[in-house]
Amino acid sequence: MINESTVMRKRNISFQGGNSVLCSQWIDLLDELNIGAFIVNKGWRISNINYAALALLDQKEKDVLGRDCREVFVGVPCMVKCLLCNPDDASSKKVSREPDVCVRDEADRAHLLTRMATPIYDDQQHVVGCLTILQDHSPIADLIDRIHYEERSMKLILDSLDVGIFTVNRDGYITFFNREAETLSGYQREEVLGTHYTKIFREEKKRRYGRMVKDILEKRVSMEHRIKMATRDGGDIPVRSHIMALKNEKGNIVGGLATLHDLTLCSQLEQALSDRYTFHDMIGRDPGIRNIFEKVSVVAETEATVLIEGNTGTGKDLLSRVIHSASHRSSRPFVKVNCAAIPENLLESELFGYVKGAFTGADRDKPGRFNEAHSGTIYLDEIGDLPLSLQGKLLRVLEDREFYPLGGRKTQKVDVRIIAATNRGLGSLVEENRFRRDLYYRLNVFHFSLPELKDRRGDIPLLIRHILRRLCATYGERQASLSGEAMEILLNFDYPGNVRELENILEHALVICPEDLIEPRHLPEYLQARGPEKKKPVLPDIPGPGSERYAIHDMLVKHEGHREKTARALGMSRITLWRRMKRYGLDQ
């Protein structure tokens, strides 16, 4: 806030011809600080007034400018000698401070104002006007409540920080949300201002975070905590949140402030070091994928053998690691074997090991992958490529938990859980007599079938955001997003390589794109050739006015099929528009 001494030091403001650029700058600066101010010329006419003063005095600019101040401010009378009445009086050359006065705004809220006035001089040091300042003794939270996105000084300071910041009042309602918080959460500030802070946290975390906020507001402490933040599109971001109390000048707590630091890169490093995964590493809201998540949480805790089927790039490897990390074997080895990548003549010794003298060059005993996985989990990828000659040996491991190493005469016991995966339907291989039926039934105790990405298109925006955030963290804390045209191309692509192909596309775009906005030209060439379709949607049997389908169709026609303009006109995001178009069959 601006105090008396500050005003006194700046009182010699040049004022020429009843107007002053410097005075106007002061008015604007005070407005940025939510301090009311107005200028009166020597004829008692109001020549300038800022928005803060208009709000405090419940006036409109057109009703004030050019009018006599003695007529306008009848509710806030001058209680001391007017600086303009006797400008040559020595007492008028000082800052005048009046007793506090109470005024009410248009919402009938009381404001206790301190009113100060200082003379304005021309080049010859003659008093030619008066600058009046109105200080509102509202709590700091009230000032935060008035921070608008358009206020340049606050925007430059808070929005330039590379840390998310949001503030709440004593009831927990968000009063400020900076640009980095928007980037982290995916929410625009207008979507969260005035809503409860729990909107940006997961349901299971709200109670715990709520207790922390309550302790801070009541006990005046600050604390740091790692928590999962919920994004607008349903994802999760690991953040470090430092929460502190906001106090007014009397020391009373009027709200709280939280900083949000993105821990995506740290989380990746920790995950790589521990090689552990959780259910949250699997992304998706599609009913099919959510059903898999629910079953995984149950199956992981058992000893059941699991068979995972799905096309290339659907996430079979990730699902196997998630199952292992959620089981009681999570602290034990996880051994992966790709049955298709090892030559058939070496596969038996690779899986089961060999004893000294088993073949030429076998000068010592060598344990196999099953030995390495003892007490843990072995993941047999591409199990459909396992030769028939080894399928019987694997069946014995499943039934008796023992096997003969190559060239050995004594069985070796092994305690291991088996997870198998294939991109080929084992059922059809069984019918073709290329896979043992008894082994198939042993492996298929619990079955997961991972859907292709084209069959869960609603998850594509969620996956794009998740993958971009992870890649940006890897590429030096970049902040990248997709343009409307690039997003439309990706939303309408079929992804024969599934999620892995989507990852490759986004990584390609990040490498090519020097800016933070990915355009169609940054995508691989085979996608650029597709391009977003530019056609007017023409659909029959559109319901009458009043339905959402009609409104979307009407706006699409109005904007010639341009989805970004349509979404903006309807007040929704492009992703929401795309989902509604899919729901109503308007994406033809």
Residue 512 amino acid letter? I
For residue 143, the SS3 value is helix
Buried b (16+ CB within 10 A) or exposed e, 337-376: bebeebeeeebbbbbbbbbeebeeeeeeebebbbbebbeb
Say whether pLDDT at 10 is over 70. no
The phi, psi pair for 219, rounded to 5°, reads -105, -5
Least confident of 29-33, 194-198, 434-438: 29-33
CA distances in angstroms from 200 to 90, 186, 255, 267, 538, listed in the order given? 59, 10, 17, 19, 38
Averaged over 448-464, what is the pLDDT? Answer: 88
Angstrom distance (rounded) from CA 488 to CA 528: 11
Averaged over 129-153, what is the pLDDT? Answer: 53
Share of the chain above pLDDT 90, in %: 20
Structure tokens at 357: 């003298």
DSSP 3-state percent helix, strand, coil across the chain (nearest 5): 40, 20, 40
Half-sphere exposure in the Cβ direction for 68 (13 Å, CA): 5
Q: Check if the beta carbon of residue 236 is closer than 8 Å to that of residue 230.
A: yes
Structure tokens at 38: 């107005």
Structure tokens at 510: 């990040």
pLDDT in tens, 378-395: 999 999 999 998 999 999
pLDDT in tens, 114-129: 677 777 777 677 777 8
pLDDT of residue 523: 92
pLDDT-derived band at 266 (thresholds 50, 70, 90) equals low
Q: Check if the beta carbon of residue 490 is closer than 8 Å to that of residue 528.
A: no
Count of beta carbons in the 10 Å neighbourhood of residue 401: 14
Q: Check if the beta carbon of residue 318 is closer than 8 Å to that of residue 277.
A: yes
pLDDT in tens, 516-575: 889 999 999 888 876 554 444 444 444 444 567 777 887 888 877 777 788 878 877 776
Q: Check if the beta carbon of residue 243 is closer than 8 Å to that of residue 257.
A: yes
Dihedral of the CA atoms 291, 292, 298, 304 (nearest 10)? 140
In eight-state DSSP terms, residue 99 is P
pLDDT in tens, 325-357: 889 998 899 999 999 899 888 899 999 998 888
pLDDT-derived band at 317 (thresholds 50, 70, 90) equals very high
Angle of CA points 264, 572, 541, to nearest 5°: 130
Say whether pLDDT at 43 is over 70. yes
Say whether pLDDT at 34 is over 80. no
Cross-strand bridge partners of residue 2: none
pLDDT in tens, 486-496: 888 998 898 99
Could you tell me which residues come within 8 angstroms of residue 326 by beta carbon, excluding any fewer than 6 positions away? 278, 279, 296, 297, 300, 301
Structure tokens at 81: 């000698």
Place of tokens 């050995």: 408
Say whether pLDDT at 49 is over 70. yes
Angle of CA points 190, 191, 194, to nearest 5°: 80
For residue 498, the SS3 value is helix
Tell me, rounded to whole angstroms, the distance of Cα 528 from its chain centroid: 28
pLDDT of residue 440: 94
pLDDT of residue 274: 56
